[in-house]
Amino acid sequence: MSSDQPFITDESQVVTETRDARMTGQGDRFNSRLREAFGSSPFILTKFDKFLNWCRGSSMFMLQFGIACCSIEMMHTYAVKHDLDRFGSGVPRASPRQADVMIVPGTIVSKFAPRMKRVYDQMPEPKFVVGMGSCTISGGPFQEGYNVIKGAEEVIPIDIHVPGCPPRPEALVYGVVKLQERVANGEAAPVTVKPYELEEFSDLERDELVDKLADQIDDDELVMRYNFADSP
Amino acid sequence: MSLERPDSVDDAAIERTPDELEALLGDLVVDRDDHLNAPGFVIRPDTVQETLRTLKEQAGYDHLSVVSAQEYENRYESIYHLKKYDDPTQEVSIVVPADKDDPVSESAEPVFRTADWHEREAYDLIGIEYDGHPDLRRILLPETWQGHPLSMDYDKDRPQIATLPEHANPLEDHHKDAESDTMFLNIGPHHPATHGVLHLKTVLDGEQVADVEPDIGYLHRSEEQMAQSGTYRHQIMPYPDRWDYISAGLLNEWAYARAAEDLADIEVPEYAQVIRTMGAEMCRIAAHMLALATFALDINGDFTATFMYAINDRERVQNLLEDLTGQRLMFNYFRLGGVVWDLPEPREEFFSNTRDFLDQLPGSIEEYHNLITSNEVFQMRTIDTGVLPPEVAKNYGATGPVARASGVDYDLRRDDPYGYYDELDWDVVTEEGCDNFSRLLVRMREVEESAKIIEQCVDLLEDWPEDERTIQANVPRTLRPDDDTEIYRAVEGAKGELGIYIRADGTDKPARFKIRSPCFSNLQTLPEMANGEYIPDVIAALGSLDIVLGEVDR
């Protein structure tokens, strides 16, 4: 459009029917073909839980949570080309308090595990976790590392594991869609072993290590104790 | 040609022979311990500052690349790898042995500011104490960690305790400092603007930053230990991909390949060098695109479109890399002595795809200039914020786009040539602005230079005679470099000087494998850029540094 022309709406092109109906209050703007199919009895019969689970599975808010290499592929999954939003689960939330799903995209190390546990605790129920990549399964290529937690499941429960180093965006999409399917079907998370808990320092069983650290750590400070010898 | 540097001859630029250096240092030298890359002088642990100051001020060694520490059967040792910003081929290693029972060595921090973090890391992982260090604490591991993991008697099965200290609400009265009216604020370790798991301890005075202290180690994956437990030939190469994981894999692999090839005296065929050069520059484009994308998001959340465009360009270059290597992100494509396989068949298709990508790239870059660099809001946020003067950058050992945006003309591809770079026609990009905007401009212009390099490589590869396409040199199945050979070699990674120090002990695994990460040194400059600025400028400065935590923490 050239700029010297004033902007004129071509009235003949505008579908005024619904607009007029709305302005006069006659039309129902929420009307739809589906609604019409119900006819005069606009009720459906289902179980409340089933309906709610369907809602949950159809709209999932992800936690914007980048840890390591996998988060690069996770960004690609959110962005153009793979576009996770197509499946109703592509709205990354920066705050854990607004998120339903946490994708754990990377290696968990000793310094980060307590923080991840805290972020997980901050998410409201019901919450779900997708473990992305081999590091969240077993520590992956870094399993032998002196500082590496052997899988995110040692800290928080995980619903879906997506293997790969890193998994391709397609694999993550598949994992998330699988999770949505499970949520919609009301399938519960598997029972998990979580050896590492956040606890107050004074609650730890006293041993050589605890005695040694007693003057460094306050009694009510939260700590996580790693028993690397017992790790898988 | 632009590859020759402008003549700037002064005292510092004169190249001295090892014997002249020994004469300069005089009594400070107690022994010689030459490395493959540089002469090495052994000094007493209480003369570190004096030695380094002499070398810095009288011989022009103004770049402390890295401090690598290690433990021997009978002693501890810190090595200060020095070189010159003007000519990084002039190197010298200062070897400082320390007592086995009481490893104390003088800190180099008063001479080179960058030694602060490097020595903290050496203390954390090896257990050497640095006398006169301003703040000798653990840097990568939790404060409560027991033992030093890369020392000889470390037991990795022992239990450990990590703490999660509670911070009071910064808005509550009792958490403000009554006298100076400052406030403490945590940014991270889980925060969208920290580019991964970085924790910034900030002290605010009103909206201004009084002090910011990066707290790292949330992604310390024991990379050095992993490399030390792998064999040279095949087991180490997958790990470099995971240091700088922003698709910069081939650049990192080259760092290891270069160090190990020089250590084991392997000659790489020319054809493989051209493929390596091409692949590495594709990686650089992908890495800089992500830097641009996330930087735009850091400046203003409304730059989501820029993010999407840049990711789109990354997808294009990742497709090419996937054709070449078989992987999207973790390529594992280099082998010692060459690359793992030749270009994909049909070659013509690969070449035409690459050319298509190169053809559309100028248009994309034009678009980024329209979207961000010419955007007024963007300019207001980035011009003259996060200023890093060149002397400060050098003192902190900053390299890569961060140094080049401060006018430090330092690029290892030109100054310490490897691969096929010295045969090609391209320019080193520098900017004089020293601010956030310049750092972005350097990256955007480097993308254009990388495209030039790729184009020339494609031309070369297209015409390469079919019977001379050797992708691999003859390399023995098991590599056992001679006992007690040491080498430090660096390449120009996406973020700067990515170097590796290896000490061989006659076995097929390195006795010490030390990674010099450019991001580690670059991140250290953050307080210099951020202190006194407003809090949004901290975020902009951090974004412009383009750190990747996998490489900072290793």
pLDDT-above-90 percentage for chain A:
15
CA atoms within 13 A on the CB side of A65: 29
Q: Which domain holds residue B348?
A: 244-479
Residue B280 pLDDT more than 50?
Answer: yes
CA nearest neighbour of B277 among B241, B252, B308, B251 = B251
Strands A222-226, B63-71: pairing is unpaired
Residue B175 pLDDT more than 70?
Answer: no
Cα B143 to Cα B418: distance, rounded to the nearest angstrom: 40
Q: Say whether B488 sits in a helix, a strand or coil.
A: strand
Q: Could B162 and A216 be called an inter-chain contact, meaning their C-beta atoms sit closer than 8 Å? A: no
Alpha carbon distances (Å) from B233 to A224, B93, B237, B336, B478: 38, 27, 8, 7, 6
Same-domain pairing of B319 and B456: yes
Cα B390 to Cα B409: distance, rounded to the nearest angstrom: 10
Which tens digit of pLDDT belongs to each residue from A63-73?
888 888 899 99
Region B121-146: what's the mean pLDDT? 90
Region B283-304: what's the mean pLDDT? 88
- Structure confidence at residue B6 as a pLDDT band (50, 70, 90): very low
- Structure confidence at residue B356 as a pLDDT band (50, 70, 90): very high
Cα B236 to Cα B380: distance, rounded to the nearest angstrom: 45
- B231 belongs to a structural domain: no
| Cβ-based contacts of A221 with chain B (< 8 Å) | 163-166
Q: Could B195 and A66 be called an inter-chain contact, meaning their C-beta atoms sit closer than 8 Å? A: yes
Q: Say whether B82 sits in a helix, a strand or coil.
A: strand
Q: Give the gap in angstroms from C-alpha A43 to the nearest C-alpha of chain B.
A: 42
Region B222-244: what's the mean pLDDT? 90
Q: Say whether B487 sits in a helix, a strand or coil.
A: strand
> Are A128 and A102 spatial neighbours (Cβ–Cβ below 8 Å)?
yes
Domain limit, last residue, from B131, B150, B178: B131
B279-298 residues touching A, CB cutoff 8 A: 290
Q: What's the confidence (pLDDT) of residue A13?
A: 57
Residue B262's CB is within 10 A of a number of other CB atoms, namely: 17
Domains of chain A, earliest start first: 48-184 (3.40.50.12280), 198-230 (no CATH)
Region B83-99: what's the mean pLDDT? 90
The domain that holds B95 is classified in CATH as: 3.30.460.80
Tell me how many residue pairs between chain A and chain B have CB atoms under 8 A apart: 168
Q: Say whether B252 sits in a helix, a strand or coil.
A: helix
Region B2-9: what's the mean pLDDT? 46
How many Å from the N-terminal Cα to the C-terminal Cα in chain A?
68
Provide the number of structural domains found in chain B: 2
Residue B500 pLDDT more than 90?
Answer: yes
Same-domain pairing of B123 and B249: no
Q: Which residue of A has its CA nearest to B247?
A: A72
Residue A180 pLDDT more than 70?
Answer: yes
Cα B396 to Cα B530: distance, rounded to the nearest angstrom: 15
Q: Give the gap in angstroms from C-alpha B549 to the nearest C-alpha of chain A.
A: 7
Residue B7 pLDDT more than 50?
Answer: no
Q: What's the confidence (pLDDT) of residue A197?
A: 82
Dihedral-angle region of residue B344 (phi above 0 means left; psi in -120 to 50 means alpha; beta otherwise): beta
Cα B168 to Cα B89: distance, rounded to the nearest angstrom: 51
| Cβ-based contacts of A139 with chain B (< 8 Å) | none
User: Can you give the three-state secondary structure of chain A, one letter per residue?
Assistant: CCCCCCCCCCHHHCCCHHHHHHHCCCCCCCCCHHHHHHCCCCCCCCCHHHHHHHHHHHCCEEECCCCCHHHHHHHHHHCCCCCHHHHCCCEEECCHHHCCEEEECCCCECCCHHHHHHHHHHCCCCCEEEEECCHHHHCHHHCCCCCECCCHHHCCCCCEEECCCCCCHHHHHHHHHHHHHHHHCCCCCCCCCCCCCEEEHHHCCCCHHHHHHCCCCCCCCEEEEECHHHCC
Region A161-171: what's the mean pLDDT? 91
Alpha carbon distances (Å) from A159 to A98, A113, A127, A162, A164: 19, 18, 10, 10, 16
Cα B92 to Cα B38: distance, rounded to the nearest angstrom: 5
Region B9-35: what's the mean pLDDT? 78
Q: Give the gap in angstroms from C-alpha A147 to the nearest C-alpha of chain B.
A: 6
| Cβ-based contacts of B303 with chain A (< 8 Å) | none
Q: What's the confidence (pLDDT) of residue B300?
A: 81
Residue B166 pLDDT more than 80?
Answer: no
Run of H or E residues at B95: strand B91-99
B208 touches chain A (CB under 8 A): no
Q: What's the confidence (pLDDT) of residue B1?
A: 40
Q: Which residues pair with B67 in a beta bridge?
A: B80
| Cβ-based contacts of A198 with chain B (< 8 Å) | 164
Which tens digit of pLDDT belongs to each residue from A87-112?
888 788 888 898 989 999 989 999 99
- B20 belongs to a structural domain: yes
CA nearest neighbour of B254 among B241, B264, B266, B245 = B241
Q: Give the gap in angstroms from C-alpha A186 to the nearest C-alpha of chain B.
A: 30
Mean pLDDT value across chain B: 87
Q: Which residue of B has its CA nearest to A170?
A: B328
Residue A8 pLDDT more than 80?
Answer: no
- B525 belongs to a structural domain: no
> Are B520 and B117 spatial neighbours (Cβ–Cβ below 8 Å)?
yes
Q: Could A225 and B550 be called an inter-chain contact, meaning their C-beta atoms sit closer than 8 Å? A: no
Cα B191 to Cα B539: distance, rounded to the nearest angstrom: 11
Higher pLDDT, B224 or B175: B224
Same-domain pairing of B248 and B396: yes
Q: Which residue of B has its CA nearest to A70?
A: B245
Q: Which residue of B has its CA nearest to A72?
A: B246
Cα B202 to Cα B187: distance, rounded to the nearest angstrom: 7
C-alpha triplet B137, B138, B140: angle, nearest 5° = 145
- B113 belongs to a structural domain: yes
- Structure confidence at residue B515 as a pLDDT band (50, 70, 90): very high
Q: Could A148 and B222 be called an inter-chain contact, meaning their C-beta atoms sit closer than 8 Å? A: yes
- B173 belongs to a structural domain: no
Q: Could A212 and B226 be called an inter-chain contact, meaning their C-beta atoms sit closer than 8 Å? A: no
B104-143 residues touching A, CB cutoff 8 A: 140-143
Domain limit, last residue, from B479, B504, B524: B479
Q: Could A146 and B162 be called an inter-chain contact, meaning their C-beta atoms sit closer than 8 Å? A: no
- B108 belongs to a structural domain: yes
Residue B467's CB is within 10 A of a number of other CB atoms, namely: 6
| Facing A222 at nearest CB: one of B143, B164, B195 | B164
Same-domain pairing of B266 and B123: no
Can you read off the two tokens belonging to residue A217? 């750590």
Strands A128-132, B510-516: pairing is unpaired
Cα B55 to Cα A59: distance, rounded to the nearest angstrom: 63
Length of chain A: 232
Which tens digit of pLDDT belongs to each residue from B308-318?
899 999 999 99
Residue B200 pLDDT more than 50?
Answer: yes
- B105 belongs to a structural domain: yes
Residue B25 pLDDT more than 90?
Answer: no
For the stretch B159-195, what's the b/e string if a residue is b when 16 or more beta carbons lie within 10 angstroms of its beta carbon?
ebbbbbeeeeeeeeeeeeeeeeebbbbebbbbbbbbb
Cα B293 to Cα B289: distance, rounded to the nearest angstrom: 6
Q: What's the confidence (pLDDT) of residue B396?
A: 92
Q: Could A65 and B162 be called an inter-chain contact, meaning their C-beta atoms sit closer than 8 Å? A: no
Residue A91: phi and psi, rounded to 5, are -105, 95
pLDDT-above-70 percentage for chain B:
95
Q: What's the confidence (pLDDT) of residue B404?
A: 92
Q: Give the gap in angstroms from C-alpha A189 to the nearest C-alpha of chain B.
A: 25
| Facing B218 at nearest CB: one of A71, A94, A112 | A112
Residue B357 pLDDT more than 90?
Answer: yes
Cα B170 to Cα B192: distance, rounded to the nearest angstrom: 20
Question: What stretches of B178-303 show up as alpha helix (H) in DSSP?
Answer: 223-228, 249-264, 270-299
Residue B345 pLDDT more than 80?
Answer: yes
Residue B14 pLDDT more than 80?
Answer: no
* Of A111-120, B15-24, B244-253, B358-367, the least confident: B15-24
B160-189 residues touching A, CB cutoff 8 A: 160-166, 189
CA atoms within 13 A on the CB side of B401: 28
pLDDT-above-90 percentage for chain B:
38
The domain that holds B383 is classified in CATH as: 1.10.645.10
Peptide linkage before B346 cis (omega within 30 of 0): yes
Strands B334-335, B338-339: pairing is antiparallel
Cα B114 to Cα B67: distance, rounded to the nearest angstrom: 9
Same-domain pairing of B253 and B379: yes
Strand order in the sheet with B183-187: B183-187, B199-205, B208-215
| Facing B162 at nearest CB: one of A142, A166, A224 | A224
C-alpha triplet B72, B73, B77: angle, nearest 5° = 25
| Cβ-based contacts of B316 with chain A (< 8 Å) | none
Which tens digit of pLDDT belongs to each residue from A122-153?
899 888 999 999 999 988 899 888 889 988 88
Cα A49 to Cα B3: distance, rounded to the nearest angstrom: 70
- B236 belongs to a structural domain: no
- Structure confidence at residue B358 as a pLDDT band (50, 70, 90): very high
Q: Which residue of B has its CA nearest to A142?
A: B221
- Structure confidence at residue B11 as a pLDDT band (50, 70, 90): low
Q: What's the confidence (pLDDT) of residue B9?
A: 44
| Cβ-based contacts of A118 with chain B (< 8 Å) | 164
| Cβ-based contacts of B160 with chain A (< 8 Å) | 110, 209, 225-226, 228
Same-domain pairing of B345 and B475: yes
Cα A142 to Cα B550: distance, rounded to the nearest angstrom: 12
Strands B104-106, A160-162: pairing is unpaired
Residue B440 pLDDT more than 50?
Answer: yes
> Are B452 and B460 spatial neighbours (Cβ–Cβ below 8 Å)?
no
Q: What's the confidence (pLDDT) of residue A5?
A: 64
Alpha carbon distances (Å) from B460 to A161, B34, B272, B276, B324: 45, 38, 12, 13, 16
Cα A63 to Cα A99: distance, rounded to the nearest angstrom: 5
Single-letter residue type at B296? A
Q: What's the confidence (pLDDT) of residue B503?
A: 92
Region B353-358: what's the mean pLDDT? 93
| Facing B197 at nearest CB: one of A67, A204, A227 | A67
Cα B516 to Cα A183: distance, rounded to the nearest angstrom: 46
Dihedral-angle region of residue A62 (phi above 0 means left; psi in -120 to 50 means alpha; beta otherwise): beta
| Cβ-based contacts of B141 with chain A (< 8 Å) | 110-111, 147
Single-letter residue type at B79? I
Q: Give the gap in angstroms from C-alpha B467 to the nearest C-alpha of chain A.
A: 36
Q: What number is the ipTM of this complex?
A: 0.85
Q: What's the confidence (pLDDT) of residue B8?
A: 44
Domain limit, last residue, from B427, B452, B479: B479
Interface probe for B, chosen from A74, A146, A221 (most Cβ of B below 10 Å), is A146
Q: What's the confidence (pLDDT) of residue A3?
A: 53
Q: What's the confidence (pLDDT) of residue B273?
A: 92
| Facing A68 at nearest CB: one of B190, B219, B239 | B219
Q: What's the confidence (pLDDT) of residue B158?
A: 86
